[in-house]
Amino acid sequence: MQTTIFDRLRNGEIISSADKDAYKMREASFATKKLLLQMNNSSDPAEIINFLSQITASEIDKSVTVFTPLYINYGKNTKIGKNVFINFDCVFLDLGGITIEDNVLIAPKVSLLSEGHPTSIEDRHSLIPKPILIKKNAWIGANATILPGVTIGENSVVAAGAVVSKDVPDNTIVGGIPAKILKTI
């Protein structure tokens, strides 16, 4: 069985901009954008969940609340648990994978970025995918940014405006740029 570029991304493979299948990422993003336009113009919570289910190619539970607009570049690598709240103006870059477990709160303008680029000039247009995991009962504060490969621990809080580049232990509050442990709860 042949693996797709999306399988390769999920497996953590760095994808060169010269990859023969790289164009498929853009095609998939444009298809997602069509659904996002419809979802982001809806005020009906059930319709929003229906569009989000199509975008993620998974069943989104009716207990999930999304205040649009929400921006996702691919969608099919995003998994959302039950009783999740996603506030206005969030950005999910999910080619590397994003998992949001049950009872997570995501404040306005949060960015979950599961993909990045090498710093070397020659390879900068390559894509480095690393999954993000947000565990149960976590709260991500307004305008926080979660970088590729980060796990946010169960019951943890990410302060508003934080940039999280390293894993956050369970039951911990982090804040700052880069985010540091402020206290345990």
Tokens for 37, please give them: 């336009």
Catalytic residue among 82, 117, 130, 136: 117
Contact 129, 97 (CB under 8 A): yes
- For tokens 């911990």, the residue is 172
Mapped onto helix, strand or coil, the DSSP state of residue 82 is coil
Closest CA to 107 of 131, 96, 91, 93: 91
Active site residue 117: yes
Distances (CA, A) of 43 to 32, 46, 83: 19, 9, 19
Q: What whole-number distance in Å separates Cα of residue 55 and Cα of residue 50?
A: 9
Contact 53, 37 (CB under 8 A): no
Catalytic residues: 117
